[in-house]
Structure 1
Amino acid sequence: MEKAFLILEDGSVYEGKAYGARKEVISEIVFNTSMTGYLEVLTDPSYAGQAVIMTYPLIGNYGICLEDMESERAWPDAFIAREFARMPSNFRCDMGIEEFLLKYDIPGIEGLDTRALTKKLRECGTMNGLITTNENFNLDEILPKLKEYKPTGVVKKVTCKEKYELKGDGYKVALLDFGAKKNIARSLNERGCNVTVYPALTKAEDIIATNPDGIMLSNGPGDPKECVEIIEELKKLYNTDIPIFAICLGHQLMALANGADTHKMKYGHRGANHPVKDLRNGRVYISSQNHGYVVDDEKMDKNIAEPAFVNVNDKTNEGLRYVGKNIFTVQFHPEACPGPKDSGVLFDEFIKMMEDKKNA
């Protein structure tokens, strides 16, 4: 098997075996702690501009079930695991994971010490890295490039190119696609909503003109502060009385549109077992998460929004409720199913918000 290397910006080198596409890439290296759901990880647009390490040691054992894709393609720059399964076993399996990586030109590495690598990122923070099969690499040339790298323009890369509709006979919901997973629109559609999905840079006036019952702001990749044009449009949507529900990047962008701040986390939250507490009733949800930035809720004017959810592990903000507005936002992914579908109730709350507005 061909050797492959992961070189981090601190100069550390991890050796493994090449898997998937043979291609050299520089990317932000992050880790995901999920034991299953690797296809959902691969097809989550929020991973655009990142290379993903799976901490679970065996990936690919149930193969690729194309029906479970969260978008039309795979997005990570690279995929890294301790071991990739060669013989998947699942009656729904359409192909093996290597065939899938080759299809989308994504390089992989296996056989390196993912435990040591994850500990490094937890201790030192997220770092950029180079994935290569070139054994004659020159660190003096590579390290300056790694320190300079920053993924940019990723929301424009992942958003839909034109609007499309999921028919329903209930409330009209406008979903702004910043990198939306399919299950967001599906979760609304299953509750009867007629969902129209819009490109990320759609003007607020164009959405308001369709007279939607509610607006959904999706998840997405990258630094929220980069989305200057989108933030300006969200300021206009905030000033309407249309109910708004936002997830992940949408949550961060709405906060920035209203004077809050965001910062990059040391290594982020990426996995399927993050506990979040609802500050209204003390209930704890086990949530799926994928984000490297967080809202500084202490810098949010309490007359504009108040904390709604908090991460039980590190006490970071996981959601906001906007004072005097039909707007609430969450950092985690209520459309995902890491186990019990307990946080799916937030979609029901959004439906109730639209119903109350309609009957007011």
Structure 2
Amino acid sequence: MIPFNKPYFSGKESRYIEEAVRSGKISGDGMFTQRVHRFFEESLGFRKVLLTTSCTDALEMAALLLNVQPGDEIIMPSFTFVSTANAFVLRGATIVFADSTALNPNMSTADLEQLVTPRTRAIVPVHYAGIACDMDAIQQVATRHGLAVIEDAAHAIDSYHRGRPLGSLGSLATFSFHETKNIISGEGGMLVLNEGRYDARAEVIREKGTTRSAFHRGEVDKYGWVDVGSSFLPSDIIAAYLWAQLEQMDDIQRVRRAIWQRYYHALAPLVAHGIGLPVLPDYATNNGHLFYLMCRSLAERTALLSYLKARQVWAVFHYLPLHRSAYYAAKHDGRALPWAEHYGERLVRLPLFYELTEPDQQRVIEAVLEFYSSPASSD
């Protein structure tokens, strides 16, 4: 079986984990955490970053930093992972779902302004597949209405919008280092603080609402409970694994982009038969995070997944649009979101990971092409 994903191991992770253990400090904010922070701040130009235990926790920190209250409204795409919404629902917010675009699963900006009300606090664009949302249009709406923009960049490490790294454009941004992402630590995430006014409180929230970080730096003579918060910072063992990955980021990205390009060129003939491939707007780059096909119907997708599985290829679909979920359907305002449902019913993700060999990738490609030339599929 060709798996959908296989976590990448550079070879240095075990050594760095051992170094962390030998240092005598394996709790949060140890030497490897500091190395990772410097990498993102100095090499990628993020203003300030804080590692977290997950992208979910980074999103929850963002909701706390914005002081989201019951009755506040947060605009986000329906076609996203549940964590994007959960972080704000936990604070009592009402989620206002935007549709996807016809071009790709990212948030549509065509009707974005009409979704804004006096209760709106923030817009949360999700850069699906590492492809940038239309941040110019989103920022213009946010600026006109005094709204915060929080980038959910879980998929988007090393991807850009008009030459600027995703994660540097909003007031806040969040990243994931889950084992399915390009750069991994098993579980793990990061909060990016693009405005200095969030710095001090973010440290407090990340340390259970206490001044513990300032205490360890010698800035206060004792630490106490001064705000709400939780245990959002990861062990330095997780940061040690992540550091080994970041050292190899250029190579990881080179390989993943090459795999993505091979899929694209080999499957391009399917477009003439109505099968969709990823589309990059002229303002966006491709970071090789995932490769997807758009089937012509739900029935066709179901048949394709079964066909691939029978040929030992593990492909998957992606999100059920959140406005159709068992938890939130009754809370949705009833607007039709046809493009979100379109992607929810037709999108198929193909295997893409560092160790996917060219012969195995060719097997995946041939299986897809065979399906579309077989009686199982017809125009």
**TM-score normalised by the shorter chain: which range applies?**
under 0.3
Q: TM-score, normalised by structure 1?
A: 0.27
- The structure whose residues are more often helix, as a share, is 2
Q: TM-score, normalised by structure 2?
A: 0.26
Structure label with greater radius of gyration: 2
RCO higher in structure (CA 8 A, sep ≥6) = 2
- The structure whose residues are more often strand, as a share, is 1
